Every structure is written in structure tokens, then in C-alpha cells.
């Protein structure tokens, strides 16, 4: 269960949610990944997911590549999250199977994108919604940090307990600026509901325009980041 949950949220969030130590969650995630890799067999993936995990607190990373169609990891390695480490995956997969990749889903980390574009140029690159929303959650955190209420603020409203929803209502009522930031965060998720890029683009431009006069500098920086990476986000509207 813990391993599967770690594919949907950060280790820190899972540890908080389940009341476990960070290192315990990390150990369980690693065990889950090794079991999945042992079951994977010889991969020939058409759609891959690329992510990094921290193997200990700090900045020690390894790269995990998953077969999104089979729903399991197929490669775990590298020394960090550099271009050289990312290239090791494609070396391992080989040129023939690399040519079979049609879609690569990843966060906006430039080394992943650069190596994938060079080694698998036929693959469409799609930026992962979870990571994009995490960036927006971090922007909300910068707008206002209220001790003891960070999890309540960063969670989607439908994921909160009744008590959590009550706490959220009190928090937002006490701070108009925070309320505006929270509503903007919640509304941004609608971007992925559009099936045509033109409509998605119009939504984003309207969302960005709504930041005017709001004094939400972290949100403005987030919008600039979305602008820079638009092609990989708009790919959601271009089914393969």
C-alpha cells in the first residue's frame, strides 16, 4: 500500500498522512520498487514515466523509469538526476526498443527533457500534472505559511476530512489574500479538463490575467514557468 501511494504523492506527505517516519516510508517504497522491477521482465515500452527519488534526506537522487502501460517500474539507476545518469537508461534499453517509445511523461527537469529529446526524438514529451501542481502548492506555501496548517492548505478540498474542511474555512476567512491564492490554486487544475489546446491556452491566459493586482509574486513566477514549458503541458490536449 505504501509503495503504491508513493507513486501518487511525496514521501513527506505519505509519512504525514500515515503517521510514519520519513525513513520508514522510503524503505517501504524501495522494497516495492525492487519487487516491481523483478516482475517487469524484458521491457519494450511505448509510454514511459521518468521521475527521481531521494534515497536519503538531502540531495542524493536516483532515477526511476516506469512502463506506464504496464503500470510498473522497469529501470532504477544513475548516480544523480543529471543528463549522464538519464542517458544510462537509454543505453540499457538499447536503440531498437528506444525507437518504440511514443510518449515520455516527466517533470520539468531540463536534463530529463534534453536527453529524451536527443535519444528518443520520436517520443512526445508530456509534463506530469502532479509535479506541476506541486510547484503551485509550493507557491501557495510561499504566499503564506501558517504553522500547523500547511497540510490543510496544500491538500485538495475534496481530500480533506470534515475537521480539515472546517479548519480550512477558518483559515481562509481570516486572510483574504490567502483565500484568493487558495481559490486560484484549486481552479488551475481545470487546465487538464480541456481536450483542445486552444481552449486550454485561453483558460491559462485568463487564469494568468486574474493575478493582476493580487500581489501574489510566487504565483506570477509559477505562471512564467508554465509559459516556458507550455508545449509539454499542452501535449495533454494532443492524444497520440
Q: State the chain's mean pLDDT as an integer.
A: 81
Mean pLDDT of the region 185-199: 90
pLDDT score recorded for residue 155: 54
**151 pLDDT more than 50:** no
**Global pTM?**
0.64
CA atoms of 11 and 217, how far apart (whole Å): 28
Q: Give tens-digit pLDDT for 221-234.
A: 999 999 999 988 88
DSSP string covering 43-86: ---SEEEEEEEEEETTTEEEEEEEETTTTEEEEEE-SSSSHHHH
Among residues 59, 2, 44, the alpha carbon closest in space to that of 26 is found at 2
pLDDT at position 74 is 87
What is the pLDDT averaged over residues 83-111? 93
For residue 197, is pLDDT > 60? yes
- Tell me whether strands 103-106 and 47-56 are parallel, antiparallel or unpaired: parallel
Three-class SS of residue 181?
A: helix
CA–CA separation, 224 and 230 (whole Å): 10
Closest CA to 214 of 189, 170, 184: 184
Residue 15 reports pLDDT greater than 90 = no
Output the pLDDT for position 209. 94
Collapse the DSSP code of 218 into the 3-class scheme (helix H, G, I; strand E, B; otherwise coil) and give the result: helix
What is the tens place of the pLDDT at every residue in 33-84? 767 666 655 578 999 999 888 776 666 788 999 998 888 888 888 888 899 9
Residue 193 grid cell: 479538463
Q: Is the dihedral of CA 34, 36, 41, 44 positive or negative?
A: negative
Amino acid at each position: 500500500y505504501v509503495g503504491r501511494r508513493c507513486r501518487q504523492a511525496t514521501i513527506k506527505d505519505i509519512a504525514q498522512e500515515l503517521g510514519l517516519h520519513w525513513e520508514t516510508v522510503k524503505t517501504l517504497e524501495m522494497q516495492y520498487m525492487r519487487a516491481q522491477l523483478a516482475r517487469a521482465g524484458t521491457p519494450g515500452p511505448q509510454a514511459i514515466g521518468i521521475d527521481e527519488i531521494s534515497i536519503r534526506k538531502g540531495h542524493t537522487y536516483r532515477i526511476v523509469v516506469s512502463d506506464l502501460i504496464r503500470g510498473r517500474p522497469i529501470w532504477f539507476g544513475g548516480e544523480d538526476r543529471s543528463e549522464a545518469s538519464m542517458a544510462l537508461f537509454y543505453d540499457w534499453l538499447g536503440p531498437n526498443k528506444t525507437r518504440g517509445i511514443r510518449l515520455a511523461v516527466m517533470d520539468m527537469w531540463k536534463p530529463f527533457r534534453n536527453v529524451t529529446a536527443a535519444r528518443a526524438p520520436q517520443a512526445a514529451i508530456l509534463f506530469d500534472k502532479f509535479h506541476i501542481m506541486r510547484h503551485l502548492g509550493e507557491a501557495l506555501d510561499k504566499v503564506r505559511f501558517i504553522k500547523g496548517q500547511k497540510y490543510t492548505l496544500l491538500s485538495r478540498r475534496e481530500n480533506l476530512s470534515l475537521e480539515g474542511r472546517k479548519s480550512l474555512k477558518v483559515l481562509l476567512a481570516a486572510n483574504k489574500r490567502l483565500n484568493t491564492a487558495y481559490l486560484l490554486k484549486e481552479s488551475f487544475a481545470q487546465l487538464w479538463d480541456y481536450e483542445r489546446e486552444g481552449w486550454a491556452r485561453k483558460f491559462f491566459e485568463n487564469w494568468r490575467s486574474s493575478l493582476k493586482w493580487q500581489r501574489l509574486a510566487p504565483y506570477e513566477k509559477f505562471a512564467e514557468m508554465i509559459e516556458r514549458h507550455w508545449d509539454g503541458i499542452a501535449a495533454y490536449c494532443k492524444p497520440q
